Amino acid sequence: MQLATLYPILYKILQPCFPNCLWAGSGDSPAIALTFDDGPHPQHTPELLQVLDYYQIRASFFWLGNCVDQAPTVAREVYQRGHWIGLHGYYHYSFPSLSPDTLKQSLLSTQQAISQACQTNPEIIRDVRPPNGLFTPHTLKLLYQWNYRPVMWSVVPEDWERPGISVVVKRVLQQVQSGSLIVLHDGHYGGQDVAQTTAMLVSELLQQGYHFITVDQLWMQV
């Protein structure tokens, strides 16, 4: 069941209710953030990297720990290219369904997997996006308590349902504005199309006068 038409409505409802999450950047600058969930993937992510390299764009990736463990070389390539890295949990489990101890261990395990693959300090990886965007006030309280930064979205074209590349591109272009935080997927669901989708989107958005920044840079605007 595709719910793409509901996400803009949900954004408008949730964003003012949870202002301490990152939903978007400043509307005063034509800067937008491309983010990719559910990777790294051994095939889809390298294809995506070629597109980002071609356009010299830095994006942000929210990784699953088990995928990092399965594709550490790909993870290291993403990190070495200067892309921003965040956490999506070790497995793609809904955060509210996990006990606090299990959730904390999931995030720590993902940090450790990224640290080992990318040879970086795990403590600098603090941005967290809940799988499927599902959270509760208690979830956020725990993330703040553990010194994580919750990152959400403002444009969700539901690419994981694979409605067609042109449909995904059209959905993004209809919603995008200065400060937009766009969610795409380079994992098992939706990742088959991510390189081509990104190439079409970036080309069009550059023509419209937008430029691309990372989630870390987006935080600096709010």
Q: Which two tokens stand for residue 122?
A: 């795990």
Q: Which two tokens stand for residue 24?
A: 């978007």
Average pLDDT (94-111) is 98
**d(Cα 201, Cα 149) in Å, to the nearest integer?**
27
Write out pLDDT tens, residues 147-167: 999 999 999 999 999 999 999
Write out pLDDT tens, residues 58-86: 999 999 999 999 999 999 999 999 999 99
pLDDT for 215 equals 98
pLDDT for 4 equals 80
**d(Cα 175, Cα 208) in Å, to the nearest integer?**
13
Q: How far is CA 107 from CA 87, 115, 141, 165, 173, in A?
A: 7, 12, 15, 32, 33
In total, the chain counts a number of residues equal to 222
pLDDT for 2 equals 65
Confidence band, pLDDT 50/70/90 cuts, at residue 175: very high
| DSSP H or E stretch at residue 63 | strand 60-63
Query: Which residues are CB-neighbours of 37 under 8 A, at least 6 positions away?
Result: 61, 62, 88, 129, 131, 183, 184, 185, 186, 187
Question: Is the whole model's pTM more than 0.95, yes or no?
Answer: yes
Residue 6 has pLDDT above 90, yes or no: no
Between the two ends of the chain, the Cα-to-Cα distance in Å is: 34
Q: Which residues are catalytic?
A: 37, 185
Domains and CATH numbers, the chain: 28-219 (3.20.20.370)
pLDDT for 1 equals 47
Average per-residue pLDDT in the chain? 96
Cis peptide, bond prior to residue 100, ω within 30 of zero: no
**d(Cα 43, Cα 61) in Å, to the nearest integer?**
15
pLDDT for 3 equals 76
Residues of the chain above pLDDT 70, percent: 99
Q: Which two tokens stand for residue 76?
A: 């290291």
